[in-house]
Amino acid sequence: MILKPKTAEQYTDLHGGRGKVTISKHLGAHDVNGLDLFAKVVVEKGGSIGYHEHLEDSEGYYILSGQADFIDADGTHKSVVPGDLCLITRGQSHGIVNTGEGALEFLAVVF
């Protein structure tokens, strides 16, 4: 199975963050059993996705390019770079802040 991006949606101040975030979804809820989202996410320079809770699912961010502070489930800020996997499980919270000189790109998987 090969899945091309379905949509690219742009958000401003996502989950109370700041700046523009573009999410290119390859699949969404109900497309594949066990996966609710697989998407490439781009956070503009200086932008962020606000700290938010996942009540019904888990999510991983796989960092492709850029630098960021990942706000972990306990509220601590942890520096992340390409190749890092940021993971939270059901009932936990997270956020991410682009601290790099350019765009932050990562894959987001919700399950």
pLDDT of 17:
98
| 4 or 62: which leads in pLDDT | 62
Phi-psi region of 84 (alpha: psi -120 to 50; beta: other; left: phi over 0): beta
Structure pTM?
A: 0.93
Helix, strand, or coil (residue 94): strand
Rounded Cα–Cα distance for residues 48 and 55 (Å): 21
Question: CB-side exposure of 58: number of CA atoms within 13 Å?
Answer: 9
pLDDT of 24:
96
Rounded Cα–Cα distance for residues 70 and 42 (Å): 14
State the pLDDT confidence band at 1, using cuts at 50, 70 and 90.
confident
Mean local confidence (pLDDT), 69-75: 97
| Of 83, 52, 53, 51, the residue nearest 67 (C-alpha) | 83
Do residues 103 and 46 make contact, with C-beta atoms less than 8 angstroms apart?
Answer: no
pLDDT in tens, 29-41: 888 898 999 999 9
Question: CB-side exposure of 86: number of CA atoms within 13 Å?
Answer: 27
Residue 4 pLDDT more than 90?
Answer: no
